[in-house]
Structures are given as structure tokens and as C-alpha cells.
Structure 1
Amino acid sequence: MTTPSSAPAPSQSIPALADQVVLVTGGARGLGRAITEALLREGARVVINHLTSADAARDLAAPHPGRAVAVRADVRDRSEVEALFEAAQAEFDAPISTVVNNALSGFSFDGDARAKAHEIDYDAFSAQFSSAVQGALNTIQAALPGFDRAGSGRVINIGTNLFQHPVVPYHDYTAAKAALLSLTRTFAADLGPRGVTVNMLSGGLLRTTDASSATPEAVFDAIAASTPLQSVTTPTEFADAVLFFASPWSRAITGQNLVVDGGLVKD
């Protein structure tokens, strides 16, 4: 993707994808892998963050020498996040220009197995908040010095359509993603004068990732029948929307939540 030649000059310089260093947290498996692959396809250099998927991350990076690096870090730990950014700078001799906050603390999308309202405890909420909100806070703050040097930056937070359409009892996960949307909008207002855009992309159930592998086929089919496109969004389709928000084409968009679910939910 390149900036159209007829377009007016942006208020801040937004590099094309081929000139960017992009961090994808949880970038080795599931949706994160699809996002990483899409960015590499478009020429970006990618930092593939992982916590427990070292082999998958290294295998994903291996065919792209000089353009992909696997870095282990727990995004909930600020010191590990700082070390991740230092490793990325050393690898690419350039700061991270876009952060994709995709990492998900251990969670299985199986409604029958999730705790209902009368039995869930706050520890479950705390675990999801630490991944979604604390993780995003750590990566955004660690990215700011590089954003400031470049005069621009992109943050893309991965959300969910469940807080608009709570059809399954994922109480802890949904609450954490709703809080992440709040952070998206308040940080967009705070960081906009620094040339930083902050947006959220919210999917529904994706067909199929590691997290959604426990979902019965009948549930996928019911969701497909409820969408205008008569299909369940795939990780590859969702990743295409990430490309848009990372590219110069979205330079005037911030504080927004784009729902990418085949039209099931209208935000």
C-alpha cells in the first residue's frame, strides 16, 4: 500500500508499510500469525512477540531474514517490554513505528465451559485486564520515545464485538476488551497532538484460531447465517483491516472502533 500521489500531504509523516517496523504482540499463532504474515507480505519489518510459542515464532521469522525477528516478552511485565523494544531497535536500527496489541492471556472460546455470572470470580477478570489493558499500556508507553523521534506513530488494539453483542458468557474477556476501547479513545485524544493515532479493530468469532478451536461447528454456522455476507470472518480477512490502520491511508482516523465481523454487529 502506498500513499496516492494525488492526495494532499498529511499533517504528519506516516511511513508506507514497507518503511515501517511493526510490533505484533502474540504474533506467532492464531490471529497474530495472520497479522504478521499480512504485514510481511506488504513489505513491513515485523517484531513477532511471543510468550510460550518460541518455535512457532522462530519458524515464522526464518523465511524473512532481515525483515522479521522473534522476541519473547510478557507484555504484562514492563521491564520485559522495554527489553523487547531495545531488541527491535538493535535488530532493525530503527524504532517501532506501529504497535498491534493482540496478545491474549490464556483463553478458550468455548461458551459451555466458561464460568457463568453466579460463579465467576474477580481473579478471572484481573487476568484478562492484565493482558489487555496493562499489556497495551506497557507497549504504548514503551513506543512513545520512538514515535516522538519519528513525529508519528500507530497503535492498533484488537478488541471484540461481544460488548455490543454479548451472546456468550465471556464476562472477563469482554469486560477487559471494553476497558481497552476506553483506553483507545482516551489515549487517542491525549496522543493525537504528538502525531499518534490509536484505534481498535474488533472481531467476532474467527474461523478458526487456536482460541476458537473449541467452538462447535454448529455455532460457526449459526453466526454465518446471521451475517449479511453469510460467512464467519477468517483471521486472514481480519488481518487485512490491520493493514489499513497501519498504512498512510488511515492517517485521519483515530479513536475509532471498526467492527470486522461480516456485518453481524453495527457499532
Structure 2
Amino acid sequence: MNINQQVVLVTGASRGLGAQIARRFHEEGACVIINYYKNEAKAQQLVNDLGGDQVIALQADVRNAEEVKALCAQAKAHFGASITTIVNNALVDFSFNGDARPTLDDITWHAFQQQFEGSVQGALNTYQAVKDDMQQQQFGRIINIGTNLFQHPVVPYHDYNTSKAALLSMTRNMAYELGKYGIHANMVSGGLLYKTDASSATPDAVFDVIEQGTPLGKVTTPDDVAGAVLFFASPWSKGITGQNVIVDGGLVMQ
């Protein structure tokens, strides 16, 4: 299925990476659902900026299965078509500030739970909300957003990094179970992104070190990651599932 035939749900799409992913899908002619949790104003502003009747902003907490089901039903009614593609991007209550991060001495299990609920539970809820439609149409694309930090934890964000490692395992389990329905599940793992709301607390010196230490000599941008997401949604990736592509300028290679 070409991208301009798809109905795409991007979670956490009111800002940063999610907003750029939504923009790129819209540019390619897809119908796009901009999911937001709290920031209705930013989500609606993005809708206004993109324009047209192929984009809508809908509120839901991805950790709440009933809210996610309601969102998917609203989107189906609005577009007259079911969701074909999910980008699990939502980031719950987290800021990339290495100086302020909790260490193993003081981090709480609650912090881990928060990130697991946002990453793993959120991905489970979005899939389960659209599974019947995806299985019926024998097509689906699930694209989970990860991080290069769980493979190369230059900053040990214990809760965040661990949750994304779990999400990769979930991605591969999804791929194995759902392939028979024509549903592909993959992950795109970015490096530290320049510069989003989530990375605004990161000192400029950190970005300088990354720029100097990567083969491409640049810091990864939201648009770099968005391009890889679109690849996994496109027909070009029809033979790929269960994979994790790292988009970080070559800092981590595998």
C-alpha cells in the first residue's frame, strides 16, 4: 500500500519528533492523526499549519486502552477508513538532562513503570485498538520509536533506556506473530535529536561532542528519523519486519 493510501496514527505528535513525522506523512499524501495527551493548542496549530481535510488532532493518553480505542473509532469515522499505520512515538514525562538524571542509587521503580507504561503499554494499546481492521485488510505497519542509548548508553537514563530495550523485544515478538496477517513491525532508533522540547535541557556541549564523534559529522535531526519511519511505511520495505534501524549519523554501528 502506498503512503498516500494510508491512514497514519502518530502518537505524541504535537511537538518535536512526532510533529515532524506527521508533517512528512502529510506531505506524502497520507491521512494523519495527530495524537496528543495534554497540549491541544500545539496539536491544533500543527493541523492548521498542515491544512486540508487529511489531518486531524485527537486527544488520548496512550496508557489508557479505552481512550486509545475511542481515538481510533473517531479517526475511522472522520476519514471513512481504518488506521493502517501506527507510529508509537509518545514520550511520557521525560527530559534528556544527563546532569539531573536519577542514578541507580536513587532511582525508583515508579520511574521505570512510567517509562514502561508509555513505551510498551502504549504500543500494546494502539495495536489492540486497530488489530481487527489490520487483520481484516491483511495490511498493517507498526513503527516503534526507540533510541540508540540502550545499545550505547553514553548517558545511562536507566528507566528510559530500559523501556526502549523492552520495546525492541516487543517489536520483534509482534513481527513474528503478526506477519501472517501482512502486518510488519519495525523500530527506528534515533540518537539525541537537535533540538526538541525533550532535548532542550541538554547542554550545547553535548551536541558538540556528538557532532565531532560521528562519521557524518552532524547531530541527528527529527527529519532524519522521520525519513526512516516513512521508509518502513512505504512499499520499499515490503520484505522487512522485526528490524531496528539506528539513525544517529553512524555513532552506533551494528
TM-score normalised according to structure 2 size: 0.98
Mapped to 1, the partners of 2:124 and 2:222 lie a distance apart of 24
> Paired residue for 2:16?
30
8 Å contact kept, 1:185–1:256: yes
1:95 corresponding residue in structure 2: 82
Distance 2:151 2:117 in 1: 22
The alignment status of 1:60 with 2:46, answered yes or no, reads yes
2:216 alignment counterpart: 229
Deviation at 1:169, TM superposition (A): 2.2
Deviation of 1:149 after TM superposition, in Å, equals: 2.3
> Quick check: 55-64 or 117-126, which moved more?
55-64
Map 1:188-203 onto structure 2 (within 5 A). 188-203=175-190
Q: How many residues are aligned here?
A: 253
Q: What does residue 12 of structure 1 align with?
A: none
2:173 is paired with a residue of what secondary structure?
Answer: helix
Specify which of 28, 48, 70 is matched with residue 34 of structure 2.
48
Aligned counterpart in structure 2 of residue 144 of structure 1, from 126, 131, 140: 131
Instruction: Return the TM-score normalized by structure 1.
Output: 0.93
- Aligned CA-pair RMSD: 0.7
Q: Tell me which amino acid in the other structure corresponds to 2:141.
A: R
Is 2:198 aligned against 1:211? yes
Percent identity for Structure 1 against Structure 2: 56
Contact 1:99–1:154, Cα closer than 8 Å, also in 2: yes
Question: Which deviates the most, 106-115 or 146-155?
Answer: 146-155
Equivalences for residues 87-126 of structure 1 within 5 A: 87-126=74-113
* 3-state DSSP of counterpart to 2:115: helix
Q: Give every structure 1 segment of 4 or more consecutive aligned residues whose post-TM-superposition deviation is greater than 4 Å.
A: none
- Once the two structures are superposed, the pairs formed by residues 167-206 of structure 1 within 5 Å of their partners are 167-206=154-193
- CA offsets 1:135-168 (integer angstroms, 9 cap, x no match): 0000011121111222110000000001111111
Separation in 1, partners of 2:235, 2:63: 29
Per-residue CA distance 1:66-125 (angstroms, 9 max, x = gap) = 100000000000000000110010110000000000000011100000001111110100
Secondary structure at the residue paired with 2:196? coil
Name stretches of at least 5 consecutive residues in structure 1 with no aligned partner: 1-14
Unaligned runs of 5+ in 2: none
Cα distance in 1 for residues equivalent to 2:133 and 2:23: 24
Name 2:153's counterpart in structure 1: 166
Q: Say if 1:115 and 1:169, in contact at 8 Å, map to a contact too.
A: no
